[in-house]
Each structure stands twice: as C-alpha cells, then as structure tokens.
A and B are shown apart, each in its own frame.
Chain A
Amino acid sequence: GAGVSQSPRYKVTKRGQDVALRCDPISGHVSLYWYRQALGQGPEFLTYFNYEAQQDKSGLPNDRFSAERPEGSISTLTIQRTEQRDSAMYRCASSSSGGAGGLETQYFGPGTRLLVL
C-alpha cells in the first residue's frame, strides 16, 4: 500500500473486554514497531518485529498485552481484559531494513485511538 494503515481508527470498549488492533505495514517492510501514545506525551515503545520474529517486547506493560506478526506482514496487538488506564493512541510504524541499527526511517500509521469505559 501507499503507507502504513491501522484499523480500526477508533475503538470504544468496556472494561474487561479484549481488543485487537491491526497494523498493515508498507509492503516489503521488514521491521514493524508498536507504540503507545498517551494524551500530551510522545510515543512510548512497546514492541519490535523483524519479519515474523518478535525481537524486543520489553515495552509491553504487562502480560495482558501481546503482539504477533505471523507471516511477517500484518501485525496484531491484542490487549486482554482491558482497563481504563489502557486508553491511549496506539501507533504502528514500519521500516524497510531489519535488525538493530537505527538509521532507517520509520513510517508511522495514523494510529488507533482506544477508549476503555
């Protein structure tokens, strides 16, 4: 596709429900990142994939959060038993190269705004 897409763009759920957020990276991009952005803050790193391998999940806040990228393309971030404090913008980014390095440009999606009531 032309850019990184995310769905849904908005999600309202009740406390205790599970949610799944989808990220469709730029075609052919090796690296995929998930971030969480609270209101008035910068993005906070959650996890990183190199193709289908989850190489860093140190930013996931607790075991209710998980992510997968089974075929090395689309990724899903799942939050189980949502809590009000999970309300935030969840952003996905992809880049063309893989591995640790830091030089490649990350292209960000528009985000999914999650509201937990």
Chain B
Amino acid sequence: AQSVTQLGSHVSVSEGALVLLRCNYSSSVPPYLFWYVQYPNQGLQLLLKYTSAATLVKGINGFEAEFKKSETSFHLTKPSAHMSDAAEYFCAVRNTGGFKTIFGAGTRLFVKA
C-alpha cells in the first residue's frame, strides 16, 4: 500500500531564509510524486510533479524538489522564502497506471518578516 509522511505539521522560517518541507513516501512500484499548495479558501494548486524524467524537478514560484529513491524522499525546497509563500503544502503519491492519489497530512508554512 502507498503512503506519504510529511515531517512537521508546522514550519516557520524568516523571510529570505531557506524553505525545506520534508516528505517521505512508501510505494511498492515506481510512483509519481506531487507537491500541492493550498492558500486559504482556495483549492489545491499543483506546484510540481515527479514523473521519472528527472530527479530534480522545478516547479512554480521558485520551488523545486528532488526525488531520492534510496531515501524514499521527495523534499520540497525554495532558496529564499517570501511572505506570499505562507500556505499549506501537501505531498502526494500516485501509482503509475492508477487513479488514486494519496496525500500527506500537510505542512503549514509560516513566513516571518
């Protein structure tokens, strides 16, 4: 069975600091991996996705994530946090050839001025 673990339900960084949101997955087959962002009162928006083309994936708003098979990780990073990055972030996994996407519990990012 697939699963996703996001370490840390809340992360707080200063504006301009590095953002690191951790995600570990479990999957018996090569997965597709996703990061979504959710702003208040809005739907989830895709940030980036890993589909086996390249292990380092670049997304919108300056975010990127690296797929590390040996560590079963797909951590999300951004070199310099901006106030507008404050939101909730969800990591998700999906089997190749499947319909079901499994989401982590989410990490709320706070950005301090």
Contacts and interface: CB of A to CB of B under 8 A. Distances in A.
Given A103-B32, A103-B51, A43 B44 contact: yes
A69 B105 CA distance: 29
Chain A interface extent, by class: 20 to 34
A45 B51 contact: no
Chain B interface extent, by class: 20 to 34
Interface stretch (B11-19, B65-73, B74-82, B96-104): B96-104
B105 A100 contact: no
A56 B100 contact: yes
B99 A56 contact: yes
B42 interface: yes
Interface in B54-99: 90, 92, 94-99
B105 A42 contact: yes
Contact of A110 (B32, B42, B96): B42
A42 B43 contact: no
Nearest to B101: A45
A48 B92 CA distance: 17
Given A56-B99, A102-B94, A102-B96, A41 B46 contact: no
Interface in B18-59: 32, 36, 41-46, 49, 51
A56 B4 CA distance: 21
Contacts of B106: 40-42
Nearest 6 CB-CB pairings of A with B: A42-B103, A108-B43, A108-B44, A102-B32, A48-B99, A102-B94
Given A41-B106, A45-B102, A91-B44, 8 more contacts: A33-B99, A41-B105, A42-B92, A45-B100, A58-B100, A91-B43, A102-B97, A102-B101
